[in-house]
Chain A
Amino acid sequence: MRLTSLLAWIGRQATALVALIGRAAQFIWSILTAIADLRTWVPLTAVQVRRIGVDSIPVALFIALFTGIVLSLQSSYTFSGIVPLYFVGVLVGKSIMLELGPVLIGLVLAGRVGANIAAEIGTMRVTEQVDALEMMAWNPVSYLVVPRVAAGILTFPIVTVLGLVVGIVAGWLTAIGLLDLSTQEFVRGLRMFYQPFDLSYPLIKAASFGAIVTTVGALHGYHTRGGAAGVGRAATNAVVISCMLILVFDALWAVILL
């Protein structure tokens, strides 16, 4: 009996997963076809750039600031007595640029931006505002989804670059303030293994994370059912799935690009 229940549960989960993948594929296709509707989405993108990008800068910088401080202190603790201390600059620079900057900022924005998009579009869905758009012959995907996805792809890299700068500066100030390290030594470490690709790599990752967070948020909002509880579920699922996909794509980019 328990085995039957277990099999039934696995079957249900598998069916739900296949349905979700099918819905996501259909949704992504509808986004791609809606891109041609420039007249609708281009004028609406500026507002989303402000809401998704500009408004996210404080929280992204806050994360980057403390990441830089902690990285500097932890690398000093790890290296002391074994590795020359200017390697603090190497570790802070490389870790923040290649991994922690884009991923931590991506995860935080998945919470802030992804939940916001899912809740906003979800509320519009359950209050029939999406149906009202359709009745006015607007394409809801062009109107609601494409401007957000475009803004996400555009602004996540910019916010991430600002975060990288703040993270590295925080690491540097910590190194010269709290550790026995000079600016010259820190910069020496920072430049030691630097390659131009170190800057392209986080930009590629951040743009992909922007696409993931906004698309997943919009997907869950767009298919919201069941009133306030449904909106809550949509927001939660959007954040959880965005975070998981960010980590999956982080690994994928490492395999492909490094």
Chain B
Amino acid sequence: MIRLEGVSKGFGANSVLSGLDLVVPAGSMLAVIGRSGTGKSVLLKCVARLLNVDSGCVEVGGENVGQADSHAVRRIRSRMGYVFQFAALFDSMTIGENVEAPLRREGVSPVEATRRADDVLARVGLKGIRNQLPAELSGGMRKRVGIARAVIAEPEYLLYDEPTTGLDPVTTAVIDDLMLGLKRDLGATGIIVTHDVRSALRVADRVSLLHEGRLHIEGTPEEIRNSDDPLIRAFVEGKSELWPEDSGSRR
């Protein structure tokens, strides 16, 4: 389970998260939607302790991430997979080396790491590219490699940062199918932050809107589709005139 309670995070005078509460039950996937600059990525980085919260509590699998020492943080992170917004592949490594990197840290033998990397690359539909460099791939392929790297160690927790942003509809559908398949097979607890509403409604068990530093509303995809809430309607239908004035991006 992932649980955030009263989490606040700001940068200087700019408050991004203000007393945010969130619970993701074990094995379920929560999609956090919201406008650009509302702090979705910040929320995800607070869960992984890539950023320290100013106040509040972040718990992953019953462990308080905020108060963990560096050794405990590494242990918690080794149970997580993080898909970065722009894939964050290591430029100097081949695709194979990128995907194997989490296993090498765990001391898995090179032969076993190569076998598992080939398996997971085949699973994301990228068989035979292990010797290429990240710069030689398209944006969609890089995202898929990023997903392969995040799941190769079969993590208990999966954090997706804008997995479909900037992709064409077909590649988006491929990534969505991939996320659904991984959810089914790994049973990982996860958070997807995205402003791609269609993808969120398709992949997640529950969907929530991040607005003014807090989760504004939460429900199943069906409940969100049928919600009368003006913010949800504005977001789902993509109508700026429905969005309340002066309540957009906080950054």
Contacts and interface: CB of A to CB of B under 8 A. Distances in A.
Q: State yes or no: do A and B come from one complex.
A: yes
Interface of A: 123-124, 127-129, 131-132, 134-139
Interface residues of B, number: 21
Contacts of A132: 82, 84, 88-90, 149
Interface of B: 45, 48, 50, 74-75, 77-78, 80-82, 84-86, 88-91, 101-102, 105, 149
Contacts of B81: 135
20 contacts: A123-B91, A128-B88, A129-B90, A131-B84, A132-B89, A132-B90, A134-B50, A135-B48, A135-B50, A135-B77, A135-B80, A135-B82, A136-B77, A136-B105, A137-B74, A137-B77, A137-B102, A137-B105, A138-B105, A139-B74
Contacts of B91: 123-124, 129
Nearest to A123: B91
Contacts of A124: 90-91
Which of A128, A131, A134 neighbours the largest number of chain B CB atoms within 10 Å of its CB?
Answer: A128
A137 B86 contact: no
Contact of A131 (B74, B88, B102): B88
A131 B90 CA distance: 11
A138 to B, nearest CB: 6
Contact of B102 (A123, A128, A129, A136): A136
A133 to B, nearest CB: 8
B86 A128 contact: yes
A123 B89 CA distance: 12
B50 A127 contact: no
Contacts of B88: 127-129, 131-132
Which of A128, A131, A135 neighbours the largest number of chain B CB atoms within 10 Å of its CB?
Answer: A135
Contacts of A138: 105
Given A128-B88, A135-B80, A135-B82, 5 more contacts: A129-B91, A131-B84, A134-B50, A136-B102, A137-B74
A136 B108 CA distance: 13
Contacts of A136: 77-78, 101-102, 105
A124 B91 CA distance: 9
A51 to B, nearest CB: 11
Contacts of B84: 128, 131-132
Nearest to B98: A132
A139 B73 CA distance: 11
A107 B140 CA distance: 43
A134 B77 contact: yes
Contacts of B50: 131, 134-135
B6 to A, nearest CB: 25
Nearest to A128: B88
Nearest to A135: B82
A139 B74 CA distance: 9
Contacts of B90: 124, 129, 132
